[in-house]
Amino acid sequence: MSATAYFSILNTPIGELLLTSDGEALTGVHMEPHEQIDGRRDDAALRPTREQLRAYFAGELRRFDLPMAVTGTAFQEKVWAALRKIPYAATISYAELARRVGQPAAARAVGSANGRNPLGIIVPCHRVIAAAGSLGGYGGRLERKQWLLRHEAASRPH
């Protein structure tokens, strides 16, 4: 987890989310169960994130616009950038994501990078599914992934 100056807890339809910030940018969105966090609780410091997540869960927001400060390996960061390009309510396979990052034989590595995404929902790792159409894994629990995908499908523009 990145250095945390501030944190906030947001109740959502999929459970509590722990939001963390370094004071300037979002550093984490963690689903229950989340670990004990150092830092100071400050809902105001994370107001934009809280507001955008509330709008997302209300079906009113399809793309997040927040300052983010996350670091990983060069490969992880490439995967996380590609995740942000998956359209709202769309899904792609791990193999397709591997092709999009220029590593067509690296579906497993893409899955691993996907699983280490520190900004779940904001960076939509839930939109990646197995090639056969099954949901595959999800660090935030499979029920949450199902809920997020159903939510986006139900609230997408027709």
Give the residue numbers marked as catalytic: 125
Could you say which DSSP state residue 119 is in?
B
The residues, any chain, with a CB within 8 Å of residue 41's CB and separated by 6 or more, are: 6, 7, 8, 9
Question: How many whole angstroms separate alpha carbon 120 and alpha carbon 14?
Answer: 12
Question: Dihedrals φ, ψ of 83, to 5°?
Answer: -60, -40
